[in-house]
């Protein structure tokens, strides 16, 4: 059976940031609300992970360099500064089943003509802008393009889907689908 090729776009700084279970735990903690370093240390301890403030600061630095968290607030406290961090991107963690391609293939088949039409329009209308954006990503004029145009297109689609997933009507529908998916099957 022919398998659908599902592209995965990875930035090296993101891969580094996501390569440590402590940083994954920190991202999971921060999805609830912005927190200070001490708040994160305390929550890690509640989860059975004992890390020093300096260790957590290091992990926050790597997550920030990876573009996964950002500084969202500063508060002056007793002559010092308390910094609050939050995710800068929506990150979903899950264990992907081996048969994921077979599971999503029917949906890919449904979406392909719509996405192709949008992609053709994007390429036709914004060809020069895509080329210029790709050139701006090249580290030097002598480097191979390394699929920078594909990267820009994939990141654009990912960003568009991310925005749509946050729209209120879609969020409400997804919440309802989650409730239905959590109900026991009646067989």
pLDDT at res. 145: 56
* Cα 51 from Cα 48, distance rounded (Å): 10
Cβ distance 148 to 137 under 8 Å?
yes
Q: What is the distance of C-alpha 154 from the center of its chain?
A: 13
Encode 100-121: b = buried (16+ Cβ within 10 Å), e = exposed: eeeeebeeeeeeeeeeeeeeee
Encode pLDDT of 73-110 as tens digits: 999 888 888 999 999 887 777 777 778 878 888 998 99
pLDDT at 1: 39
Q: Measure Cα distances from 11 to 15, 35, 53, 145, 154 in Å.
A: 6, 25, 27, 15, 12
State the pTM of this model: 0.60
Query: Tell me, what's the pLDDT at 31?
Result: 87
Tens-digit pLDDT profile for residues 156-168: 888 888 889 889 9
Domains and CATH numbers, the chain: 12-87 (1.10.10.10), 100-182 (no CATH)
**Average pLDDT over the chain, rounded to an integer:** 86
Q: What is the pLDDT of residues 26-77, one digit of tens each?
A: 999 998 899 999 999 999 999 999 999 999 999 999 999 988 999 999 998 8
């Amino acid at each position: 059976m022919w398998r659908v090729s599902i592209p995965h776009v990875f930035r090296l700084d993101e891969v580094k940031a996501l390569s440590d279970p402590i940083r994954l735990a920190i991202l999971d903690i921060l999805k609830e609300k912005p927190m200070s370093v001490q708040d994160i240390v305390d929550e890690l301890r509640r989860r059975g992970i004992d890390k020093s403030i300096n260790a957590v600061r290091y992990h926050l630095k790597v997550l920030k360099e990876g573009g996964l968290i950002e500084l969202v607030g500063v508060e002056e406290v007793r002559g010092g500064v308390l910094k609050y961090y939050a995710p800068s991107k929506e990150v979903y963690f899950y264990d992907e089943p081996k048969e994921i391609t077979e599971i999503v293939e029917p949906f890919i088949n449904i979406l392909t003509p719509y996405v192709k039409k949008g992609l053709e329009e994007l390429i036709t209308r914004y060809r020069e802008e895509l080329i210029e954006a790709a050139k701006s990503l090249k580290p030097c004029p002598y480097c191979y393009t390394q699929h920078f145009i594909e990267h820009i297109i994939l990141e654009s689609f990912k960003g568009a889907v991310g925005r749509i997933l946050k729209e209120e009507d879609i969020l409400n529908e997804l919440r309802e689908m989650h409730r239905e998916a959590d109900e026991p099957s009646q067989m």
